[in-house]
Amino acid sequence: MKNAAIVTAALLFLAPFVHAQTTPPAPPPLLLGSAWYPEQWPESRWESDLTLMQQAHLHVVRVGEFAWSSLEPSEGKFDLDWLERAINLAGKHGIYTVLGTPTATPPAWLTTRYPETLRIDENGHRDEHGNRLQYNWSNPKYRELSRIIATKLAERFGHNPYVIGWQIDNEISQTSTDEGTQKQFQSWLQSRYGTLDNLNARWTTAYWSESYSDWSQIPIPKHGGVDSGNPGLLLCWREFISDTWRSYFLNQIDVIRPLSDGRQFFTTNTMGFFQYYDHYVTEAILDLAAWDDYMPDGKVDFIGNGMEHDLARGFKRKNFWVMETQPGNVNWSSVNVALAPGDERALAWHDVAHGADAVNFWQWRSARNGQEQYHGTILGADGTPLPLYPEIQQIGAEFEKLGPLLADTHVVSEVALLHSYESRWAIEWQPQSNKFDPLEEMRRYYAPLRRRVQSVDIVSPDVDLSGYKLVVAPALNLITESQAQALIAYVKGGGNLVLTPRSGMKDADNALQPERQPGPLASLLGGRVEQFYALAAPVAVNGELLQTQATTWGELLSTSAPDTKVVLRYGKANGWLDGKPAVITRRVGKGSITYIGTIFDAAAMQVLADWLLKQANVAAASLIVPDGVEASVRYGKDKAVHIIVNFSEREQTVHLPTAMIDELNQGRSIREVTLPVSGVAVLRESR
Ligand code: GAL
């Protein structure tokens, strides 16, 4: 007994030292990495893979997210040893792991023994084994089995010093229309509405005899669009989907978190503007936003891609990760063109410029067999580097070198665009003009604003907006009562709010607001939308600010307050709009509210954006770049780090407003920089 106590005391005394020896250093601040599937290869191959990764300065791998059948080959029989060996071996090469929970790919034993865990699609067909995402996200048995594998992984890896975070599932997207899900949906509705009378009233189910006398009568809308149901029902179904994804994540996080040492983050990989669930609902329970960034046609649309980055940054309102991006080409487009030489590097720096702290490729090497044999990789089927490898090495070396400079730097914006899934859905179901695309509407504002200010946030209307000087709400069709109150308070507090076509039309039940657009904001605006018109032909719009033509959508505006000013009027238009206000604005204390009732081309949008910035007192950036060149800035203590990427098709020279340190080129102090096609400059400005 006594001896045992002495040994224990000695071990306790030594523990911190043993630990200190085995604890690896913190991962570098700027990470380059790859998805890696050790389960697809003989263990004897791992060392060569990891050596090649190390030589490319890769410091992170994401593993495990499709490995359920290798981790639990039969029910209750686990084999986690191989994964531990792979993670620890990677660690020895200075490579940290993000561990994916493998629930996107249930093993065959599971779905054959528990067929109820397979989803039923909109046509009533049960999905089958052999692909992925065939599970039913609401099914209690699937959740039980997911929890078991998640617990096993957490018990083994929750304290592994090389495991820096958890990715829950992979690109969640598929839902199920089975009876069990329908019952859950009905109870969800019951807790939301309390009584059927309330639900019937708020959905106006008297329309088309849709009234319900029992909760069990309420269907799942199966085919999208108003053809498959009342707008209130459609909205609730998507909100139920979002809440069910949230509980799907929590089902795993709640068992992993208590077994983890607190250092590990929780994330999942999203798909840009994918809209079938409300990402703000799921991201609220995660620690880090991460998304998968693909260019299917091999062309770089840096504005659209930048918007997607900014969406991801807005999920947690902090730096994010690119969890996947293609090395070269994808395999799922019609013509899978590879990125041009230099584009991979240009994109990696563009990612960082928008706030990414990690860029990970999908994938390292293609499995010998499996559905994605043609997808871009870093190694060939022979296990040796492809022509892209040196470019990846260069990115890795640059990330390693400039990581310390970029550590603790962030994008800071005075301008925000509001993005609401509910509003996008409401317009998707009732487009009224197939030319009206809410994301295009967002881009129309994003591009000219960002061009001037070099950073724009994209955030939910539910966040605190008081830090922004200018907030543009493109097509904010659905406004809840609390959002309306917050927007009113924002303007009264000195903020500048801009509403665009189709704003403020619907309420939280996707019902028409009882007042004309912009509904609860009309009295603050001192004006309203008298009527809206889908336009087949362009219409003239004139004013001191602009002489131009508008397209697609025209709203006839009116003013009711003496201090609401008309900025632009329709010229000869569709008869109804002729001579009527197209843009109105009102100063409210130090703030303002503006309503833009139609859609302009890019040149007019730049004039309008400049006017909006001026109204809101937002200064344009002093570092001016030519078209096709993207300039961004990350701020840190005492410094601004400018990242300039030449996405144009020719060499470009940028004159700097002040001397800056050229961090990629021997730290020289420069006043101008010339960038080749796909060229990158990272410039430090001391402050
Ligand atoms: C992603 C997915 C990856 C891989 C990749 C190919 O959507 O998460 O597993 O399939 O696409 O582009």
Nearest ligand 1 atom to the CA of 331 is 12
Helix (H, G, I), strand (E, B) or coil at 309: helix
Nearest ligand 1 atom to the CA of 170 is 8
Predicted local confidence at residue 687, as pLDDT: 86
Protein residue closest via CA to atom 4 of ligand 1: 362
Count other C-beta atoms under 10 Å from residue 258's C-beta. Answer: 11
Spell out which residues line ligand 1, taking CB within 6 angstroms.
170-171, 292, 294, 324, 330, 362, 372, 375
Q: Residue 392: pLDDT above 60? A: yes
**What spacing in Å lies between the alpha carbon of 320 and ligand 1's midpoint?**
18
Beta strands in 597-651 (DSSP E): 598-600, 629-636, 639-646
**What spacing in Å lies between the alpha carbon of 271 and ligand 1's midpoint?**
10
| Average pLDDT value for residue range 60-76 | 98
**What spacing in Å lies between the alpha carbon of 586 and ligand 1's midpoint?**
48
**171, 322, 365, best to mutate for ligand 1 pocket (most atoms within 8 Å of CB):** 171
**292, 293, 330, 366, best to mutate for ligand 1 pocket (most atoms within 8 Å of CB):** 292
Protein residue closest via CA to atom 3 of ligand 1: 362
Protein residue closest via CA to atom 2 of ligand 1: 171
Nearest ligand 1 atom to the CA of 326 is 12
pLDDT tens track for 212-250: 999 999 999 998 777 779 999 999 999 999 999 999 999
Nearest ligand 1 atom to the CA of 65 is 9
Helix (H, G, I), strand (E, B) or coil at 499: strand
**131, 168, 362, 375, best to mutate for ligand 1 pocket (most atoms within 8 Å of CB):** 362
Tokens 């006839």 found at: 556
**Residue 307 and residue 272 in contact, taking contact as beta carbons nearer than 8 Å:** no
Greatest Cα-to-Cα distance within the chain, rounded to the nearest angstrom:
99
| Active-site amino acid positions | 171, 324
The C-alpha atoms of residue 166 and residue 260 are separated, in whole angstroms, by: 10
**What spacing in Å lies between the alpha carbon of 436 and ligand 1's midpoint?**
29
Task: Give me the sign of the Cα torsion angle 596, 601, 602, 606.
Answer: negative
Count other C-beta atoms under 10 Å from residue 412's C-beta. Answer: 12
Helix axes 302-316 and 343-353, enclosed angle (nearest 10): 40
**What spacing in Å lies between the alpha carbon of 31 and ligand 1's midpoint?**
20
| Average pLDDT value for residue range 114-122 | 97
**What spacing in Å lies between the alpha carbon of 85 and ligand 1's midpoint?**
25
Using alpha carbons, list the distances in angstroms from residue 247 to 69, 74, 250, 428: 24, 26, 5, 26
Beta bridge partners of 96: 60
Task: Give me the sign of the Cα torsion angle 195, 198, 203, 208.
Answer: positive
The C-alpha atoms of residue 348 and residue 359 are separated, in whole angstroms, by: 7
Nearest ligand 1 atom to the CA of 332 is 12
Token couple for 482: 């609390």
Predicted local confidence at residue 336, as pLDDT: 98
Amino acid, single-letter form, for residue 103: T
Domains of the chain: 27-176+241-406 (3.20.20.80), 179-237 (no CATH), 415-615 (3.40.50.880), 629-685 (2.60.40.1180)
Token couple for 559: 């003013």
Protein residue closest via CA to atom 12 of ligand 1: 330
Predicted local confidence at residue 14, as pLDDT: 41
What is residue 409's DSSP assignment? Answer: -
What is residue 135's DSSP assignment? Answer: B
- What is the rounded average pLDDT for all residues in the chain? 96
**What spacing in Å lies between the alpha carbon of 611 and ligand 1's midpoint?**
42
Helix (H, G, I), strand (E, B) or coil at 373: coil
End-to-end CA distance of the chain: 64
Beta bridge partners of 444: none
pLDDT tens track for 544-572: 999 999 999 999 999 999 999 999 999 99
Nearest ligand 1 atom to the CA of 269 is 8
| Average pLDDT value for residue range 114-139 | 96
| Average pLDDT value for residue range 405-420 | 98
Compute the CA torsion angle 243, 249, 255, 259 (nearest 10 deg). -130
Q: For 510, left (φ over 0), alpha (ψ -120 to 50), or beta?
A: left
Token couple for 620: 């344009």
What is residue 295's DSSP assignment? Answer: -
Amino acid, single-letter form, for residue 104: A
| Average pLDDT value for residue range 299-318 | 98
